[in-house]
Amino acid sequence: MNGVRVKAYAKINLTLYVCGRENGYHMLDSLVSSVDLYDLITLKKRADSAVTITGCEGIPPEENNAVKAAKLFIKEFATSGVDITVEKKIPFGAGLGGSSADAAGVLNGLAKLYKIRDREKLGCIADMTGSDTRYMLTGGFARLFGRGERVKPVDGKLKLYLLLLVPDEKVSTPLCFKAFDALGKFGGNSDEAEKAVAAGDIIGLAHSLSNSLTDAAVSLSDGVRECIGQLKNLNALAVNMTGSGSGVYAIFESYKLCKTAKRQYSGNAESFILSTR
């Protein structure tokens, strides 16, 4: 087998609490889920040890987490190089974990290509490419702690239907955390949200959605503020922001209601109907 194709799925934050700071990093407690929006990654073996990438224009290869993941894999397992092609579907700068998803997709694809079954080594490589890349290797419902590198899978069969809006105006993650620090609203936990997912309780989960960074993001982006207001007018169970923005979403009880809300939405943001997976 000289090539392989894999799907790298996005994630959403159902909760995101900033609990404090440690060694210069923000410590998080976040309940996340993968969703059915993905980048399609094609990997082809090379005869030499080089790594190339196409499809991520605007990100220099030396700063691309997918390239970094490939180089670390090649070094760890002494394989040949790889040509990476990414068909981007996950919007940039939307809080959906696209960069980490691509890195995880490359690791999963290379593991398949070279029949590597050592998941712990893959996890260690993932940790070196991004704080939530280890989670992205498997996806599903999970609770993330620390910088996002500590993963607790959550056994939940809850199916959520989401209307996601992504405004043109992006939110800088460093600036968002800086604005959050100025607000000083540390604390909170994802206990109730985790219980709701485990119990299949969509109403309980809707009441538990939270993101500590929302006020900071709203202070930086009129687009985020407008999207939140527009979603609140669409009779959703709950509205929340994912990551540090700019993506915001509403949860609905069915695909039909979600589709109706998308038809009713008349703003300028890019819109997606998503479901958890």
Q: Give the residue numbers marked as catalytic.
A: 11, 132
How far apart CA 95 and CA 170 sit, in angstroms, is: 10
The secondary structure of 59-106 as a DSSP string is S-GGG-HHHHHHHHHHHHHT---EEEEEE--SPTTSSS-HHHHHHHHH
Q: Which is nearest to 133 in space by CA: 65, 235, 227?
A: 65
Q: Which residues contact 99 (CB under 8 A, 6 or more apart)?
A: 64, 65, 66, 130
How far apart CA 72 and CA 10 sit, in angstroms, is: 22
How far apart CA 111 and CA 105 sit, in angstroms, is: 10
Strands of the chain, DSSP E: 3-13, 15-22, 25-45, 51-54, 82-87, 142-146, 150-153, 161-166, 210-211, 238-241, 248-252, 270-275
How far apart CA 219 and CA 85 sit, in angstroms, is: 37
CA 129 to the chain's CA centroid? 14
Q: Is 27 helix (H, G, I), strand (E, B) or coil?
A: strand
**Phi-psi bin for 238: left (phi > 0), alpha (psi -120 to 50), beta?**
beta
How far apart CA 158 and CA 180 sit, in angstroms, is: 31
